[in-house]
Amino acid sequence: MHDTVLPFRKMNGLGNEIVVVDARGSHVVIASEEAARIASNPGSRFDQLMVLYDADPVETDARVQIFNTDGSSAEACGNGMRCVALTVFEQSGRKQQRYETASGNLEVTMTGSDSIAVDMGTPGLSSEDIPTRDPFHDTTRIELQIGPIDDPILHSPSVCSMGNPHAVFWVDDLDAFDLSRIGPLLEMHPIFLEGANITLAKVESRERTRIRTWERGAGLTKACGSAACATLVNAARTDRMDRAGTIIVPGGPLQIEWRADDHVIMTGPAELEHEGNLTFHVSGGMTIS
């Protein structure tokens, strides 16, 4: 038997650090411990790791498994899917692609040389979809706050699922909060049965909102595509925005549309930074180069 070498691509989607590993045609299955080790290497650090596995070629281009920095699994990553789509487009030239993920099949379209649209599916708007410990009839404003009960720092977020759980707090000043401190507290708040991505959102107009996000399992990030989608959906539900607009993450703008058919479409760029190899040893272990 021989060691197996898999190529990886270090990429980013508006600064969201992504590593794409193509395991199609191999027998390698990456485990959470290996994912965390890849993330700890300076040359392959990621917010999300996207691993491509073989799938039914008639149905999808690949099955995609997603890991966070800490090795935990993620159900969805919009920025990562754009990086996957660019990789497959450069290999095959296919502009229309389809992928199997833990949150369902996703359709991806190359709309330009550096513009990729991802159909993120339909949002989950019930407390069971997120899921939350307590049932909420109205998920546009749930009972959750941090800080003194009579003067909370943050309160009453809008919540939904974009394949993964999101809580959006509406604020007047994004820089008035230490998200690196309060993000971990809210991410693992007992009210969220599976944790949650925590976003601060400042609405600037009916067509434009600026956000910062603490990603579940990854921490502070320059971009979170599913959080941008959740922000647009929740802003539209609360009449803060129209059903299409620009969500500005620290890394730049994403175009989000919540279509009449209930599907959320996210459009933005992806960029290759460098390439490398992962060597999986027969006797166990892994080398990154």
Token pair listed for 91: 């290999």
224 is catalytic: yes
Element (H, E) at 154: strand 154-155
Element (H, E) at 90: helix 78-92
d(CA 63, CA 54): 6
Identify whether the C-beta of residue 142 lies closer than 8 Å to the C-beta of residue 157: yes
Task: Look at residue 2 and give its three-state secondary structure.
Answer: coil
d(CA 151, CA 143): 14
Number of helices and strands (H, E) in the chain?
Answer: 4, 20
Element (H, E) at 186: helix 179-187
77 is catalytic: yes
Token pair listed for 148: 């003194």
Active-site residue identified among 77, 83, 160, 229 = 77
Token pair listed for 106: 């996703």
d(CA 229, CA 227): 5
Determine how β-strand 208-215 pairs with β-strand 197-205: antiparallel
Active-site residue identified among 83, 160, 224, 229 = 224
**Could you list the active site residues?**
77, 224
